[in-house]
């Protein structure tokens, strides 16, 4: 009984120390994040400009305006399309390259670094480079096509509504560094005995890849899918610098939609806050699904 009491005391002391360690983070969290949420929620019900001078309570009017705004829904859809492109590249190219790099090949570290470098570069830099590469007249892509006599294939990659979203998504292929890292880490956890047993049972390379390795890495796939899906909501620079949401708003994503809305003189910040709250709720739902899925798989 006394031992139990002593144990509780120790646990209480541990808790206190733990809370004290967490205190700086909690202060920052409440101070910054808490205030941000409060700011967004309270202003989403107001008609107010960036000076915050003549603020007027408008109830749900801002939400109604956003819900009726076709370009908001279009930008939300585009955000998911961009995330899908990121996920697709991660799950296909990322997976295949991780498998190849798992073999004992010469220069393995160099290739690891090579594929990871683009993930370390600022997206703004990549977007600027790609933007200039895909220009119609002076872009290197069209110049190469013209140079090899395929000038007819030169396209307005960023100005043609049919191609612009695809052109923006094409940058995703250079963002597979993180998925490669996830896969490489998890590949080391696969027991060699499973693969050896499969080899004895006559499974070829393709079968091992598709029937064993791919399913075994399902938790990694989930992590990649959900982190990239959420990552889509933080995208901004890529679209802003490559197309600025154009042509005709066909590549607008949530990041550029919100950014544009805040930057116009005299714009109603309440609308921006309402849009941000809606996006936040969508992101929370995705996070909730992520938590549920990961907790199920322990």
**E strands of the chain, at which residues?**
46-47, 56-57
Q: Say whether residue 68 binds other proteins (CB under 8 A).
A: yes
Q: Which residue has the tokens 């998911």?
A: 80
From 41, 42, 55, 71, residue interacting with other proteins (rule: CB under 8 A): 71
**Is there binding between residue 158 and other proteins (CB under 8 A)?**
yes
Distances (CA, A) of 270 to 32, 46, 72: 19, 5, 15
CA distance 249 to 282: 22
Q: Is 16 in the site for other proteins (CB under 8 A)?
A: yes
Say which DSSP state 233 is in. Answer: H
Which structure tokens are listed for 148?
């090899």
Q: Which is nearer to other proteins, 16 or 108 (CB)?
A: 16
CA proximity to 157, closest of 241, 235, 243, 227: 243
Question: Which of 1, 4, 5, 53 is the binder for other proteins (CB under 8 A)?
Answer: 53
CB of 134 to other proteins, least distance (A): 9
Nearest approach, Cβ of residue 232 and other proteins (Å) = 21
Contact status: 244 vs other proteins (CB under 8 A): yes
Binds other proteins (CB under 8 A): choice among 46, 221, 238, 260: 260
* H-run or E-run covering 79: helix 70-89
Residues of the chain by 3-state class (helix, strand, coil), percent to 5: 75, 0, 25
Binding test (CB under 8 A) with other proteins, winner from 104, 137, 206, 296: 137
69 binding other proteins? (CB under 8 A):
yes
Q: Among residue numbers 81 through 100, which ones bind other proteins (CB under 8 A)?
A: none
> Is 245 a binder of other proteins (CB under 8 A)?
yes
């Amino acid at each position: 009984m006394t031992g139990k009491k002593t144990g509780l005391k120790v646990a209480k002391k541990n808790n206190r120390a733990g809370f004290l360690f967490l205190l700086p983070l909690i202060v920052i969290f409440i101070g910054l994040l808490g205030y941000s949420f409060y700011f967004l929620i309270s202003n989403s019900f107001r008609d107010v400009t960036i000076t915050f001078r003549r603020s007027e309570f408008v109830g749900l009017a801002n939400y109604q305006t956003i819900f009726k705004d076709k370009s908001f829904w279009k930008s939300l859809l585009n955000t998911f399309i961009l995330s899908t492109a990121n996920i697709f590249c991660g799950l296909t190219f990322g997976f295949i390259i991780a498998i190849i790099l798992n073999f004992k090949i010469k220069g393995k570290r160099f290739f690891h670094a090579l594929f990871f470098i683009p993930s370390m570069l600022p997206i703004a830099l990549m977007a600027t480079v790609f933007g200039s590469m895909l220009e119609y007249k002076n872009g290197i892509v069209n110049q190469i096509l013209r140079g090899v006599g395929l000038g007819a294939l030169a396209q307005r990659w960023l100005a043609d509504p049919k191609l612009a979203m695809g052109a923006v998504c094409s940058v995703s292929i250079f963002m597979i560094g993180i998925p490669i890292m996830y896969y490489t880490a998890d590949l080391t956890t696969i027991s060699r005995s499973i693969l050896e047993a499969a080899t004895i049972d006559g499974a070829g390379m393709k079968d091992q890849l598709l029937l064993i390795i791919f399913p075994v890495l399902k938790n990694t796939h989930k992590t990649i899918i959900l982190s990239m899906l959420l990552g889509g909501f933080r995208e901004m620079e890529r679209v802003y610098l490559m197309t600025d949401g154009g042509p005709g708003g066909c590549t607008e994503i949530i990041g550029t939609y919100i950014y544009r809305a805040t930057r116009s003189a005299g714009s109603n910040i309440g609308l921006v806050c309402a849009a941000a709250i809606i996006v936040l709720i969508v992101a929370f739902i995705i996070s909730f699904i992520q938590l549920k899925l990961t907790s199920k798989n322990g």
